[in-house]
Structure 1
Amino acid sequence: MSKRNIANPSPLGLCGFALTTFLLSAINMETMGVTHPSIVIAAAFAYGGLVQLLAGMWLMSIGNTFGATSLSSFGGFWIAVAIILTPGGFEIEASYDSLEFQHAFSLFLFGWFIFTTILLMCTFSSSVAHCSIFLTLDIAFLCLALGRRYPHLSGTVYVPHENLTYVGGVFGMLSAFAAWYNALAGIAASNHTFFTLPVLQFPWSEASRKTRQRALAASNARSQV
Structure 2
Amino acid sequence: MSSKMSDVEAHYVHPVAPRRLKLGNPGPLGLFSFASTTLILSLYNVHARGIDTPNVVVGMALFCGGLAQLLAGMWEFATGNTFGATAFTSYGAFWLSFAALLIPGSGIGEAYASSANPAKEGDAIAIYLTAWAIVTFLFFIATLRKSIGLSLLFCSLTVTFVVLAIADYRGNDNIGKTGGAFGILTALIAYYCGLAELLTEDDLFTIPLGKYASKNA
TM-score exceeds 0.5: yes
Over the matched positions of the two proteins, sequence identity in percent amounts to 36
- What residue in structure 1 maps to residue 66 of structure 2? 49
Q: CA deviation at 1:202?
A: 1.5
Please state if 1:71 is matched with 2:88: yes
Separation in structure 2 between the aligned mates of residue 4 and residue 94 of structure 1, nearest angstrom? 48
Deviations 1:57-99 (A, max 9, x none): 1101111110011000000000000000112x01211111431
Amino acid at match of 1:197: I
- 1:137 aligns with 157
Q: For 1:159-198, list aligned pairs within 5 A.
A: 161-189=172-200, 192-198=202-208
Shift of 1:123: 0.6
Cα distance in structure 1, aligned partners of 2:180 and 2:52 = 12
Alignment-derived partner of residue 154 in structure 1: none
1:163 partner letter: N
1:120 corresponds to which of 119, 140, 148: 140
Whole-Å Cα distance in 2 between the matches of residues 4 and 83 of structure 1?
A: 36
For normalisation by structure 1, the TM-score amounts to 0.83
- Select 1:80's aligned residue among 81, 97, 112: 97
Q: State the Cα distance separating 1:128 from its structure 2 match.
A: 1.2
Q: Deviations over 1:181-224 (max 9, x none)?
A: 111111102x611010011111236xxx7xx8xxxxxxxxxxxx
Please name the residue that 1:200 is paired with.
210
C-alpha displacement of 1:4 = 4.1
Deviates more, 1:176-185 or 1:95-104: 95-104
- Structure 1: unaligned runs, 5 residues or longer: 152-160, 213-225
The answer to whether 1:9 aligns with 2:26 is yes
User: How far has the Cα of 1:5 moved from its partner?
Assistant: 2.5
Aligned pair partner of 1:26 in 27, 43, 64: 43
Report the TM-score when normalising by structure 2. 0.86
Alignment pair present for 1:98 and 2:114: no
SS of the equivalent of 1:204 reads: coil
Unaligned 5+ runs, structure 2 = 1-16
Q: Does 2:71 correspond to 1:59?
A: no
* Matches of 1:62 and 1:138, distance apart in 2: 27
In 2, the alpha carbon distance for the partners of 1:126 and 1:62 equals: 16
RMSD value over aligned CA atoms? 1.6
**Distance (whole Å) between structure 1 residues aligned to residue 214 and residue 46 of structure 2:** 37
Secondary structure of 1:199's partner?
Answer: coil
